Chain A
């Protein structure tokens, strides 16, 4: 029982990452009708926003420490970040420590910029092209983006720790009456889950309660009619793309402490997030969120050793297996609309 609850909580957390990425992907698909294979790359760029801010904050000048030596036996050069000089060592260290949450502020404009540039520069010209072309050109873009990141940041993962205040875990099980140490939950994952919930809620609220959102929703339902009403839907779609990029990017920023960012994390997530979106039903926002959590939780259950003892290797294939079963029983995924992406 406690083991199941534990995996359920884990799944919620995994699922929130899937849901966030799938949400952005669906926003783009639903509004613009574009299948964006570069979405994983946006997630990756988001994570690298955290890395970049960390690098900026730790920009340093060298101070030679005569008392110690480096690996060649020369006097050790110690890097002293400029923020130490500006804010003093204690505040400076705190700022660096909090670089991941700070990166949210940094990432929002960057990601919106990247998203708008992508839409204006490339995606816009593909609205009327076949889906296959869209998939292919964005796939090419994804390769280019990740290679650029690799060129500047290398191939190895880059540690991007959460603030010290959030390391460690709390004993959730003990709070609800289980034995101590049965259900522990890391603080940062709780943060991530809440963060995801807030973002998902914000996106839904935005679409539900603002005029802008209403127009976009109408556009998702029937693009031509909205266009006929004389509403400049294109401009709104550009903004939507920026927003979707920001959602993906923020998901990436906050994910950085969980998985040290590397250049191919976007591709790692791409396939998975597409499976999530399709299982949810192309173009359905609630479907994307639902499928994200569902697959996250099922994946967690499948990784239990009790399960693996019965079905070895289930953890390797669970996501795909679920996708196949759902697609065969529900032709358009959990909440997909008819006629979307079936041609």
Chain B
């Protein structure tokens, strides 16, 4: 018998077929001591797509899953190839990864770190997944990333916007393509100053948890640097559904901008409430009252309906971008599913491709080799312009979109318009400012 840290179902997937054929069961040990966790030895490789399928982010999870399915199709040579055609790296052949057919398992994170880890563990221990990806919140991303680090598999984060994921909680085995709070703040502030002036008084409502804190901090710092004043910052409970008692005192405070550091259902409700209070029709300090939503998501914007019109925010990606990568992705996603992909879908699709590409380039599924191939990797053609996977914190650096709620949407998908594409140089920061320790890559076994 061999002693391993985690199981290596991948080894057995093929040998099991041979074993099953034997008339008399023989007991033998898995001799081929693998070099790393779940080393795929057969003709296929299993990826784990761990997305919220129940709970408040289930719709985002569903969209992520669609993107993964599309990515798998493309990797295996099906469909029109999507962004594989525009991707600057040409390592992917459409014949799976390293010639192995891509298979996948799915799980439900429930947007709870416990459930997410249980689901990821079952993928690693039971299904032999060699990479875990997905998720729609930072708590889950940090929890699963830590698990993957321990288990010795690669984690390609899905939608997670908190600075922590690649900041104080960063891990050598974890990679994030999505942007973060800091970048939102850095991208938004100049646009806000240009549109609303440098002399503004901001009132922050902040979701009372880590992501809310980092977002508030980022927006505050970058707007204050441009001359804004922060009148007050009030924390709101995550479970709040009616924000009236937080919004009502805003006008009294003398603020003329309301920043809603909320996401998901919180954002939908607080924005709806703010509009209901007629804040946007008011004039304070001789200026029109404005509302800002630092992190926009189209799926969520849909929940807020017409209330988003004219409201600034930032987003990782939007389907209306004109570049070839975006066009190709939207075309193949839209043709398959009948509607355009969300930013969550985009980041997940890109992460899947980036992983596959890194494996091809490294010539191995070994997490350390893959990590090395991703670190410092520069690419283009994935919808966000030239992008760098920074080695120091495994964070992607790329242009950030500043968007605004569209005044005259043509469809339920056409809710945001791009105001500006903030160049990557403006949102780059020093890797050390958020603390944390990347550590060494862990190949498991």
Contacts and interface: CB of A to CB of B under 8 A. Distances in A.
A167 B284 CA distance: 19
B340 interface: yes
B249 interface: yes
Contact of A305 (B234, B265, B273): B234
B322 to A, nearest CB: 12
B243 to A, nearest CB: 9
Contacts of A183: 248
B112 interface: no
Contacts of B235: 308, 312-313, 315
Contact of A76 (B208, B252, B410): B410
A10 interface: yes
B242 A260 contact: no
A10 B272 contact: no
B429 interface: no
Describe B's contact surface by its main secondary structure: helix
A154 B58 contact: yes
Nearest to B330: A71
Interface residues of A, number: 55
Contacts of B230: none
B56 A186 contact: no
B305 A159 contact: yes
B386 interface: no
A3 B249 contact: yes
B198 to A, nearest CB: 23
A258 B276 contact: yes
Interface in B208-248: 208, 232, 234-237, 239, 241-242, 244-246, 248
A7 interface: yes
Contacts of A186: 244, 276-278
B126 interface: no
A105 interface: no
B305 A262 contact: no
Contacts of A71: 319-320, 330, 334, 339-340, 411, 413-414
B278 A260 contact: no
B249 A6 contact: yes
B303 interface: yes
A159 B272 contact: yes
B268 A6 contact: no
A213 B330 CA distance: 61
A330 interface: no
Nearest to A160: B305
B334 A260 contact: no
Given A156-B299, A181-B251, A184-B248, A259 B239 contact: no
A264 B281 CA distance: 32
Interface residues of B, number: 56
B236 A315 contact: yes
B59 A7 contact: no
B276 A257 contact: yes
Interface in A133-169: 150, 154-162, 167-169
A10 B252 contact: no
Interface string B322-339: 000000001100110001
Contact of A72 (B276, B307, B330): B330
Interface in B195-213: 208
B438 interface: no
Q: Considering residues A157, A161, A260, which has the most beta carbons from chain B within 10 angstroms of its beta carbon?
A: A157
Given A71-B330, A181-B251, A188-B276, A159 B303 contact: yes
Contacts of A94: none
A304 interface: yes
A169 B251 CA distance: 12
A13 interface: yes
B118 interface: no
Interface in A158-212: 158-162, 167-169, 181-184, 186, 188-189
B303 A150 contact: no
Q: Considering residues B242, B304, B413, which has the most beta carbons from chain A within 10 angstroms of its beta carbon?
A: B242
Contact of B272 (A259, A269, A299): A259
Nearest to A168: B278
B232 A7 contact: no
A169 B276 CA distance: 7
Interface of A: 2-3, 6-7, 9-11, 13-14, 17, 68, 70-72, 76, 78, 150, 154-162, 167-169, 181-184, 186, 188-189, 257-260, 262, 264-265, 268-269, 299-300, 303-305, 308, 312-313, 315-316
The 8 closest A-B pairs by CB, nearest first: A159-B305, A155-B58, A157-B303, A168-B278, A169-B278, A300-B245, A156-B59, A303-B245
Given A260-B268, A303-B245, 17 more contacts: A7-B248, A17-B242, A71-B413, A72-B335, A78-B410, A156-B303, A183-B248, A186-B244, A186-B278, A258-B272, A259-B269, A259-B272, A260-B269, A260-B303, A264-B55, A269-B241, A303-B234
